[in-house]
Amino acid sequence: PGWFSEMSPMWPGEAHSLKVEKVLFQGKSDYQDVIVFQSATYGKVLVLDGVIQLTERDECAYQEMITHLPLCSIPNPKKVLVIGGGDGGVLREVARHASVEQIDMCEIDKMVVDVSKQFFPNVAIGYEDPRVNLVIGDGVAFLKNAAEGSYDAVIVDSSDPIGPAKELFEKPFFQSVARALRPGGVVCTQAESLWLHMDIIEDIVSNCREIFKGSVNYAWTSVPTYPSGVIGFMLCSTEGPDVDFKHPVNPIDESSSKSNGPLKFYNAEIHSAAFCLPSFAKKVIESK
C-alpha cells in the first residue's frame, strides 16, 4: 500500500522507488533494520537499514556477476570464501562450479540468513549445497584468523560502507584478504557505483594496487534496483600465476549449472564487456 523510496546520504538528491503491495517482514537485528516487502513489479524485496539489497526480479545480475567474474578467471577454483552474502545468492552461484570442494561463508547477521530462507527460497537455495560451511560472525575477525594462503577465491558480498560493512572497505581488511589468498588467488568485492562513488572507488583502487601485486581491475554491471542502475566490482589477484580477468579461462559448464536453474545474466561476452569503462572512470581507475 504505497511506495518505498530508497533515500540515503550515499546518493543525495535522488531516490529509486518501488510500488509496495504488502510488507511481509519487519525486524531489527543486532546490526540493522530488516524489511521484506512484496513489490508490484520486482517480486519480493530485501531492505537493510533502508537500502535495497536485492529483488527477486534482478538479483541474478549481481549474484551471477560477483561470483563468475572471479571464478571463471582462474582455471580450477577449489576453496572459496564468501564474506557477507547472507541471502545465499552467491552460494547458489558458487555451487555451479564443479571444481569447488569447499565454500566457507562468514555473515555477521543471522537475521539476514533466516529471513532469506523464509522469504527468498530461490536465493537461499545456496545453503543446501553440502560444500557450504556457514559461520555467523565478523568477516574482519574471520580473515584475521584464516591461515595464510588458504583460499583460491574470496568474494566480498557486502552492503555499503555506512553500517556493519564499513570495515570491509578499508585497507586492513584488503590486507587480510590478500594474506588468506594463495599466490594467483582472486578476490571480488562489491565496489559501488561509478556514477555515484568515484571518490570511494578511487580510494579502493589505490589500496588494492598497493596490496594486490597481480592484476587489479574494476568491472561493472546493470542492476536496475541499485541507485544509478549500476554496481561495480573490484577484481584483484595476488602475486603469482597471471590472472587475466578480461578473458575467462574457466567457462561455466552448462551441465553443472542445471542444479540451481539456468544462468539468467552471466555469459562469456558480458564477462569481458564488464571491464569496459566510460572515459571519466577509466581516467581515474587506470591512472591510480
Ligand X SMILES: NCCCN[C@H]1CC[C@H](NCCCN)CC1
List residues near ligand X by CB under 6 A: 51, 53-54, 62-63, 85, 87, 89-90, 157, 159-160, 190, 192-193, 196, 226-227, 231
Q: Are 203 and 286 in contact (CB under 8 A)?
A: no
Return the amino acid letter for 203: D
Q: Helix H segments across the chain? A: 59-71, 89-94, 110-119, 121-124, 139-145, 171-180, 198-211, 268-273, 279-285
Q: Which is nearer to ligand X, 202 or 210 (by Cβ)? A: 202
Alpha-carbon separation of residue 241 from 81, 99, 114, 148 (angstroms): 20, 18, 39, 17
User: Three-state SS for 265?
Assistant: coil
* Catalytic option among 58, 152, 157, 160: 157
Helices 171-180 and 198-211: angle between axes, nearest 10 degrees? 40
Q: Which residue is nearest to ligand X (CB)?
A: 193
The span from the CA of 205 to the CA of 224, in Å, is 25
The span from the CA of 249 to the CA of 264, in Å, is 20
Please choose, from the candidates 115, 182, 121, the residue with its C-alpha nearest in 3D space to the C-alpha of residue 151.
182
CB of 85 to ligand X, least distance (A): 5
| Furthest CA-CA distance within the chain | 55
Grid coordinates representing 128 are 543446501
Q: Which is nearer to ligand X, 129 or 210 (by Cβ)? A: 129
Residues contacting residue 262 through CB under 8 Å, at least 6 positions apart? none
Burial status of residue 26 (CB atoms within 10 A of its CB: 0-12, 13-18, 19 or more):
exposed
Check residue 139 and report its DSSP letter: H
Question: 157 catalytic, yes or no?
Answer: yes
**Sign of the torsion formed by the C-alpha atoms of 98, 100, 102 and 104:** negative
Q: Which residues are catalytic?
A: 157
